[in-house]
Structure 1
Amino acid sequence: MQTLESISADRINALFAEVESFTDPDFDGWTRTVFSSPYQEERHWMLRQFKDSGLQNVHVDAAGNIVGVLPGRNPFADPIVLGSHTDTVERGGRFDGVVGVLGALEVVQRFRESGRLLERPLMVIDFFGEEANPFGLTCLGSRSLVGHLAPQDLERINPEGKRLGDTLQAFGMDPSGILGMSTGRPAKWHAYLELHIEQSDSLEKARRDIGVVTAVAGIKRLLARYLGQYDHAGGARMRARKDALLAAASSALVLHEFACGNPGYAVATTTHIDSLQSAQNVVPGKAELRAEVRSTDSAWFTSVDRELTQRVSARAHEFGCDVDLEWFLDNEIVQTNSTLQQNIVDASQSFGLSWMAVPSGATHDSVHISRIAPMGMIFVPSVGGRSHCPEEMTPQRDILNGIRVLEESVRLADKGPLPTL
């Protein structure tokens, strides 16, 4: 006779095998980017999985999120919500986001098969377009759901010159409906829980089964424009040059060194440097650098743009260049709910699983959902800390451990009150 755990394993294996078939064959790994055909096909498939799991009122809301509800004893109670996403980056991995959606569906199956009815409704959401896209706006579905999507966002242009609003419409969505959802008053939820792979190596190195997320890192992004002087690459002597590209490249080291000097969790990543011209015999007179910084240290995060503006400007001047820096706040640091943290700890210990408190350096839909619900996150280990790449790997035993902890955390949240927002 099969056990509950072996039944869960069989179901999870089958679902992963199917969802992995929805990928762009032109890329290595798994590519299911927002607005792509593989993503559209996978969403149709996912709607069937929501219905097959026993969820009711399965639908796609105005923001593109796939939603279903397992009724509880009290249909008027604020729901407990589980969710994540199933879109990927280009050349992505199998587990990022997908673990949270398939894990939530398995929790629904386990509640149904156990015959134990929750007091509250249990809602599951596959959020639309969580990953980065060419329009420079992540978490499209969850942003809209909580009122973080503005009319001007629909005017964003991708590198091909297409508007986000037009692209949404071509994908079969109503841009006015998305904005209507944003401007309406969002419903309050009792709790939001998200199961996710860690996307780092803290759990693996510490040999812990479960990560109890304490906070999701804030993100600030930088666009730096360097102005030097164009010169002939053969005629201009080295010490007389005002090489904008060299100033930008040296600034990347400034960012790296500054983040390395923080004793807590802080990271800085230069993502792009461009000389704005391709001639090989010209000293670059202009350049651009794009970078981001992330941290869960509020003091560091508050002052990082001021500190780095001074340091990057000083480094640019060493190369005879001027620099204009423009900072953009992507999201503030978001703390997870302390009661939900304790529920996750208690659930882990009830199964004899080891745990540790960890920050999340990656952004999730939970950042936006924290505006309408107490929020908690459960991490499971990533082999080698790898993510957003074909080598992304989380063993089945860790996924099943995460599902068990998620299920028990739902039970605990259903029993007790949570602090109001």
Structure 2
Amino acid sequence: MAQVVAPRVTRQTVGAIADGAFKVLLAAVYIAGAAPLGRLLGTPAWLMVVSGVALLIGGGIEIRYTRSRSMRTYTQLMVAYDSGWVLAALIGLLMARQGSSAGGELWMGYQTAAPIVFAALLVAAAPMQAGHTDLGTRAISLTRTIYQEICDRAGGSAMPEIELSAGTIDYEDTGGDGPVVVLAHGLGFDESVWSEVVSDLRPDFRVLVPVLPIGSHRRPMRPDADLSAHGIASLLAEFMDCLDLRDVTLVQNDTGTAQLLIGVRDHRIARLVLTSCEAMDNYPPGIQGRTLHWASKIPGGLFLLLQSFRFPALARTQTSLGGMAKKRLPKELIARWYGPLLSSRDIRRDFAKFCRSADPDCYLKAAANLPSFTRPALVAWGAEDRMMPPATGRRLAELLPNARYVEIPDARTLVQFDNPAGLTAELRRFVKEHPLPGES
């Protein structure tokens, strides 16, 4: 007679079930005490109830699925979940110390979204089988594989490189005799974020895209390099100097770097284009920018925060990378952009320098120089941008004497990703309306 062998219950399994039971208990407390707890934390009662329901669902799924899933998967997800919980709590406390009332909402918002995401990833993990590779390992493996492919490509002849004062950077250069266009990417991106715009402009322009050392670069900078916003602006100017680029149409997205050159080192800039970028008093921008800034001040904070980018579902949330784009971000791009940060301590060091040095008055001070730029300017903003509100773009255009403001439809911060055709059409129109001597 065949015997039914029950699955072996380990201490880890008991601990996982206990954690799920704790979530269920905490859910009951949140729901039952929504009003008084909400007043204590400074959050609306409805958010307490929603968070309680999320914890109830997450805890129930955790209890149900833990015994049939790899404990390695569970442990990896649990480390990410608890790290985020602690980080959200610390950031909430920092916000409270600075007089913000949103700290409690941030913490409760995390406790609302994280249990559902955690449970969804646990369900998505395949049941334990011999030789099975678990979800966490697959995510890490994907990140490393794509990053290695990028490094292999960077080490070959596909991209030229240039030695600057801070270190060696890679750059893309289409070549040609057309008007020179330099595309500057933002924090945590590389040249690939501009790929569709480059493809469109290539036939008629010489397009260059430097891989700036702000997160997705493959070559670490020197340990003493100045990688503040002003330091990155200096590197951008140095890049144009070293290649002797003249009459440049400089296009900036996300970070406000180009603004810091105006009135300081703008002699190579013939035309300026600002697209959905940091400006005025919006710095660090949005919840994403402020979270990075605060996390960079906590020992190990950035490392913990960055672990969420191993999982595309977490990276696509509205309070993370997903809030910057209207279109769905492919997992390959997420792994490409964040692979260097997840794989290299030196790249994280460079990234932390930039995040930590954020000065809230940086772009307010730079705004004083903008009226001195009398050359043609275009301010092209994502019409649906949440992190960089269109009102900021309109204020920028008012400060630039020879500027035109336009909104790009169906686009958020990553205008060049959401609507590359719309942006390139405006760029072509802008250059045609403001020809330089010798341009037809």
TM-score normalized with structure 1 length? 0.32
Higher relative contact order (CA 8 A, sep 6+): 1
- TM-score, with structure 2 as normaliser: 0.31
Hey, which of these two has a bigger chunk of strand by percent? 1
Q: By percentage of residues, which structure has more helix?
A: 2
